[in-house]
Structure 1
Amino acid sequence: MSMNPGSISLEGVRMPAWLVRYDKKGICTSPKTRDALLAAVSANPQAPVILFSHGWNNEYEEATQRYAGLLRHLEAHRTTYPGSGTEPIFVGILWPSTWLSFDKGPDMATTSVAGSRSDPFERFEQELAEQLEGDERARFYALVEQDRLDATQTKELVELTARAVKNDAGSPDSREGNERKSPQPADMYRGMDALQRLAGPVPDDSDELQEGGTLGQGPQGAVQDAGFLSFLDPRNALRVASVYQMKDRAGTVGWNGVAALLSDLLARSPAPVHVVGHSYGAKVVLSAIASKDLPRQVTSVLLLQPAVSHLCFAAEVPGREGAGGYVAVPQRVKNGLAMTCSAWDFPLHTVFHKALRRDDDLGELQVGAQHAGEAVEAGDPPSKYAALGGYGPRKARETMVNEMPAPGTPLPQLRAPGLIAFDGTKGKRVSSHGDVSTQYTAWLLHQQMVA
């Protein structure tokens, strides 16, 4: 449904704010608002633009709260430290990113009401089922509604779920992010197994949770017996499917939709354009920047707990021919690309590299302590699957800063080209995956915007 055209008021925020909405294929569903925004930018050529994409599991209320929280801190910094220039115009991206979170860690396998599934599971279950036909759809419902699955049932559910994810993705541009759009069944099973191990054993059935007779991959990606837990919670199939689906969807929204908006913003005004992305929103904005030649450089990029590969900027990715999917992005950014990471981010520091395990994600090879800069609290990436928001970048001539600076600390390095990552582990300055609308993150953006 189209939004009413015109700027809106975010709670406690003075600057004008615009929200532009996209569907899962990257089609703008608020074209009148988009046109009105571009007219406003053209009429205010001195006003810098902040373009921010939210991440996973953020619907309208959560996204706007996160946007407003960061902007309130930013405006406070602009008041305390004058000389920040003309009041910015804010552009918030809205895209369908609801997924099944594993943010709660060990209790992630619980249901909201005994014997029933929570609404997010029901919605996602139906969304996946709609990608299947006839008997396959009926069998998918029968399996996913079980309390637990044996090895044979797990094989069935994983193969049906992988097919549904593939059907949902369709055939988008294969260049997007250098990533494949559909997981193989064995890839999904590895993620399910990892999530269940993090959740702990199924209550009262510890004698049936055996470490033998499990699932591997055959020539066609079929699931075979090979060494994982014997019984699995079917909800973990939905969780893993949603991780793949939302990761791919973020790239599609950025590549097909936000790229055109970003290009138009850069063409309509000579003012600085500052790009921000949180979680999978980082993939939205990186894909937007990477997808096409832009009229001019983006002024700065700030990635808040980005849910993308820590090797996405690498000139050469070990174990694969070629560079990371976003290796060209830093050259399209005038004043550099900054990001945050934290060991307190459970999904990205602990789970991401266990759940996203496609063959294209390079395998469980050790990266080791190859970074020559400052040692950081978050530590070295445990595998080539590791997330940028969990550990920071590697093999990309990056600079790592072991503590996020307090507001008031001058950061001239943010106004120079290059990659710089700030570790928010110390002092819990990033205390969780969603802890990004803070005085510390707003200070990074403030320093990027100082002329």
Structure 2
Amino acid sequence: MIGPVAQIPAGNGTSLDLYLLRFGKDGRLESPQTAELAVAAARAATDVFVFSHGWNNVYGDALRNYTRFAEGFIAQRAEFQLQVPADYRPVLIGIVWPSTWFVMDSENGPDIAGGDGKASGEIEAMTAEVTDGWDTGTRGQLLDLVDGVELLTEAQARDVAALLLGNWSEDEDGQSTRPDIDNVIDAWKEIDGVETAAGDDEDEIGVIGGGQSDAAVNAAGGFSLDPRGILRMASVWKMKDRAGDVGKLGVGPLLSRIAKPGVRLHLIGHSFGARVMLSAVAHSPVFDSNPVHSLLLLQPAVNRWCFAQDVAQLGRAAGYAKVPDRVVRPIIATRSTFDQPLHEVFHHALRGDNFGEINAAAVGDTDRYGALGGYPPQGIRFADQEAKAPGTRYDLGGGERVISANGSRVIDGKPMIDGHSDVNSPVTWWALHNLSGA
């Protein structure tokens, strides 16, 4: 539909317009008429809240999650009697980008944590997505290697890795280098050996470990590997790149049209949606003179070096190094040891990447490859604070440009952030209240 998709009750007989804007696989805006209305409304507002989901959300998921977040945020404001300016005029904008890989059995997102009975279907679906845009001949070579195959020999695995690396897209900052075949094989072995816990986390980040028996790993004259492991890795690479493109080519230009004195922009991104927002700010020079007011990163699926001026002492700045200076308030990035995908798996799958993720031979190196949603930031002065329960304020005045909010503390038997998808809660609404001041 054209125009706002929902009106969120805001108390006293008022409501807030929620606009949903679609962006394509190439990162470009696909809702031009609604975008025009949203931009006009935003430029007349005092506060604009822009949300971006993570992996495996379809339109309906995004609408439900954004609506729930807004309703919880508004209810919490009333509960704690938080004051807003007399002229407070907020507008809500939700980003919808193609983050769903494939659907099996339901529309709730794929179970890609391994398991029996779905192997051929998973391979077919993931291959179709991974090879989207490849030429027919190269795609055929990959299909010849993986179709109907449960385990690949070392030679076959190296051929698959070579094909995938040959189609590895250049990162948006042009500074990083691709991993080599040995890097990929080492990571693939690690991922196939990572035992994963089933649960809601699969729906958001795509749990990519599966675990194999020693007999399988040691078969075929050395080792063998499940082809789903490399396809899962490739899907993570591709989704990561897509999130960056959506931010750089779509959301950034949109936000640049909204940014002006008197409009407070509040950006909220979850998982790969954090990359959408970071890329948007990093590639929009308008924010040097009209900075974003606040940036909340919920379990961000980005490398922990992403803000560094000198990435791992390699003499180059990370691609998001400019972002903290383009935000008025300190950035809050939540993290949790209970986020299994980001705390246990991310550093195996993503090793060469845009911005802060370094290409090196180490496997499972959380210092270099750890996710910001699983570990504190590196290469930047930051404030390490526990995630705050509603009613307890964050300290925003310490001078640090980034606050790493640790949600691992257990209260009454439940962690403050219980997993990768546990980001729509009183804890996260409260963080946004602290940042937005509204």
Normalised by the length of structure 1, the TM-score is: 0.81
Q: CA deviation at 1:12?
A: 7.5
The one of 311, 323, 326 aligned to 2:320: 326
Distance (Å, rounded) in 1 between the aligned partners of 2:358 and 2:384: 24
The change in CA–CA distance for 1:211 and 1:392 in structure 2 (over 3 A counts) is farther
1:385 lines up with 2:369 in the alignment: yes
1:108 lines up with 2:105 in the alignment: no
Give the counterpart letter for 1:110 in structure 2. Answer: G
1:441 lines up with 2:425 in the alignment: no
Q: CA deviation at 1:152?
A: 1.5
Contact between 1:366 and 1:384, CA under 8 Å: does it hold in 2? no
Distance (Å, rounded) in 2 between the aligned partners of 1:415 and 1:19: 36
1:425 lines up with 2:411 in the alignment: no
Contact between 1:6 and 1:33, CA under 8 Å: does it hold in 2? yes
The 5 Å alignment of 1:49-88 reads 49-80=48-79, 81-85=81-85, 86-88=88-90
**Residue-pair matches, total:** 401
CA shift digits 1:2-42 (9 cap, x unpaired): xx220111788852111111112221111111101111123
CA shift digits 1:230-274 (9 cap, x unpaired): 11110111100011111111111111111111111113x622110
Q: CA deviation at 1:124?
A: 2.8
What residue in structure 2 maps to residue 126 of structure 1? 128
The change in CA–CA distance for 1:184 and 1:58 in structure 2 (over 3 A counts) is farther
Contact between 2:311 and 2:317, CA under 8 Å: does it hold in 1? yes
Contact between 2:126 and 2:232, CA under 8 Å: does it hold in 1? no
The 5 Å alignment of 1:309-324 reads 309-324=303-318
User: Secondary structure at 1:437's aligned position in 2?
Assistant: coil
Give the counterpart letter for 1:21 in structure 2. Answer: R
What residue in structure 2 maps to residue 117 of structure 1? 121
Give the counterpart letter for 2:404 in structure 1. Answer: A
Percent identity at matched positions?
33
What residue in structure 1 maps to residue 40 of structure 2? 39
Q: CA deviation at 1:312?
A: 1.0
The 5 Å alignment of 1:172-191 reads 173-175=172-174, 178-179=175-176, 183-191=179-187
User: Secondary structure at 1:422's aligned position in 2?
Assistant: strand
Q: CA deviation at 1:329?
A: 0.6
What residue in structure 2 maps to residue 225 of structure 1? none
Contact between 1:99 and 1:243, CA under 8 Å: does it hold in 2? no
| Cα-Cα RMSD | 3.0
What residue in structure 2 maps to residue 152 of structure 1? 155
Give the counterpart letter for 2:271 in structure 1. Answer: S
Q: CA deviation at 1:293?
A: 1.0
Q: CA deviation at 1:173?
A: 4.5
User: Secondary structure at 2:20's aligned position in 1?
Assistant: strand
The change in CA–CA distance for 1:160 and 1:107 in structure 2 (over 3 A counts) is closer
Contact between 1:124 and 1:238, CA under 8 Å: does it hold in 2? yes
User: Secondary structure at 1:390's aligned position in 2?
Assistant: coil
Give the counterpart letter for 2:408 in structure 1. Answer: T
User: Secondary structure at 1:92's aligned position in 2?
Assistant: strand
Distance (Å, rounded) in 2 between the aligned partners of 1:275 and 1:429: 22
Q: CA deviation at 1:420?
A: 0.6
Contact between 1:15 and 1:90, CA under 8 Å: does it hold in 2? yes
What residue in structure 2 maps to residue 231 of structure 1? 224
CA shift digits 1:266-318 (9 cap, x unpaired): 13x62211011111111111111111311501001000001111111122222
Distance (Å, rounded) in 2 between the aligned partners of 1:78 and 1:302: 17
User: Secondary structure at 1:441's aligned position in 2?
Assistant: helix
1:89 lines up with 2:91 in the alignment: yes
CA shift digits 1:178-224 (9 cap, x unpaired): 545x5543333233212101146545xx335239987xxxxxxxxxx
Q: Unpaired segments of 5 or more residues in structure 2?
A: 104-108, 196-209
Instruction: Indicate the larger mover: 14-23 or 423-432.
Output: 14-23
What residue in structure 2 maps to residue 210 of structure 1? 218
Contact between 1:362 and 1:385, CA under 8 Å: does it hold in 2? no
What residue in structure 2 maps to residue 413 of structure 1? 396
1:27 lines up with 2:52 in the alignment: no
User: Secondary structure at 2:393's aligned position in 1?
Assistant: coil
Q: Unpaired segments of 5 or more residues in structure 1?
A: 215-229, 368-380
Distance (Å, rounded) in 1 between the aligned partners of 2:24 and 2:258: 20
